[in-house]
Amino acid sequence: MGVALSMPEPTKVVNVASVPQRSPFRYPGGKTWLVPYARAWLRSRRDHVEELIEPFAGGAIIGLTAACEGLADRVTLVEIDPDIAAVWLTMLNGGGPWLAEKIAGFKLTRESVTEILSSHPGSTRDRAFATIIRNRVQRGGILAPGAGLLKKGENGKGIRSRWYPETLAKRIFNIVATRDRVNFVQGDGLESVARNAHRKRVAFFVDPPYTVAGKRLYKFSDIDHARLFGMLSRVAGDFLMTYDNTEEIRHLASDFQFETRAVAMKNTHHARMTELLIGRDLQWLNPRCFSQPVFPEFGPQTPPG
């Protein structure tokens, strides 16, 4: 593996304001804080990455960053939720300018939102627009059923507090500009891992849905985590996974002899916490940025041999 790169200080949380926000989604569990780590990971590789695959794309901040910053020749995003898929399909298949204009021209009120959210969009484009609206007005950006609408919102601005139409339109146009290098697949992320397992110059960035304490953030969240770990243990290429730092996941990582590092981040409520980075080889992480020598009870971090 390549050289370790300079990284944020151990106890410092990545300042997300310094990271370009390229996704039109607000995403529960969005990975903006992880961008500096993903950059270091992709740059540390001896061979340039031919394709970065993000099998659980969501708002796909890492895939978009890689495409915009030339960290991989090509990027493939995979997502199973048809509402989220509609947004990617629209942006990447010629509907981007339509979507951007529709957003820029929308007068967002509680009534206009209710009308959009109770409609049954017939086309992929209309579905994409409704998804963007829903993502902006539901609490925490949660698209799973049952999430309520923003009430007070930020600064008492209520339902409009996360509505930045010009910014969204700009991000969509920037995504349209990456169309020749970004591919979107609506489907099962596990299948995409299996299909590409034999390819050496592929890298997988894996951020699966993971439910802690019964909190349901995504419409599709039933993943066989042990199966995913098993599949990744057999890929010829490289991977980087990120998970909530739980005992279950630390055990799984240890079972497959993957390396783990806890990194500091702030959650959506600005509470400091750690998240796990998991890989076959995390040498690229400068030791100074480990938040602590993690989980000695599971033995050495680096598997022997």
Ligand X SMILES: C[S@@+](CC[C@H](N)C(=O)[O-])C[C@H]1O[C@@H](n2cnc3c(N)ncnc32)[C@H](O)[C@@H]1O
Cα–Cα distance for residue pair 63/75, rounded to 1 Å: 6
| Sheet hosting strand 49-54, strand order edge to edge | 182-186, 72-79, 49-54, 202-206, 238-244, 272-279, 259-266
Is residue 262 within the footprint of ligand X (CB under 6 A)?
no
> Footprint of ligand X on residues 219-238 (CB under 6 A)?
220-221, 223
- Among the candidate windows 38-46, 110-118, 218-226, 287-295, which touches ligand X by CB under 6 A? 218-226
User: In whole angstroms, what is the distance from residue 147 CA to residue 130 CA?
Assistant: 15
Closest to ligand X by CB, 6 vs 66, is: 66
Q: Is the separation of the CB atoms in 78 and 154 below 8 Å?
A: no
With binding defined as CB under 6 A, does residue 141 bind ligand X?
no
Q: Tell the residue number behind the tokens 């007070």, with chain if given.
A: 152
- Residue 153 CB, shortest distance to ligand X, in Å, is 21
Q: How many residues does the chain have?
A: 305
Asked if residue 81 binds ligand X (CB under 6 A), the reply is: yes
Least separation in angstroms between residue 17's CB and ligand X is: 17
Shortest distance in whole angstroms from residue 2 CB to ligand X: 24
> Residue 213: CB partners within 8 Å, gap ≥ 6?
none
Q: Do the beta carbons of residue 169 and residue 132 sit within 8 Å?
A: no
Q: What mask, x for binding ligand X by CB under 6 A, covers residues 144 to 183? A: ----------------------------------------
CB 24, CB 87: distance < 8 Å? yes
Element (H, E) at 204: strand 202-206
Is 59 an interacting residue with respect to ligand X (CB under 6 A)? yes
Say how far apart CA 91 and CA 172 lie, in whole Å: 7
181 or 219: CB nearest ligand X: 219
Distance, in Å, from the CA atom of 91 to the CA atom of 287, rounded to the nearest integer, reads 39
For residue 209, state whether it binds ligand X (rule: CB under 6 A).
yes
Binding mask 32-51 for ligand X (x = CB under 6 A): --------------------
- Interface residue with ligand X, options 31, 102, 136, 250 (CB under 6 A): 31
Of positions 49, 71, 78, 282, contacts ligand X by CB under 6 A:
78
- x-marked contacts with ligand X along 9-28 as a string, rule CB under 6 A: ------------------x-
Q: Confirm or reject binding of residue 84 to ligand X (CB under 6 A).
A: yes
Q: Is 80 exposed, middle or buried (0-12, 13-18, 19+ CB in 10 A)?
A: buried
- Which one, 158 or 191, has the nearer CB to ligand X? 191
CB 150 within 8 A of CB 159: yes
Nearer to ligand X, 223 or 264 (CB): 223
Residue numbers of the site for ligand X (CB under 6 A)? 27, 29-31, 55-56, 58-61, 78-81, 84, 188-190, 207-209, 218, 220-221, 223
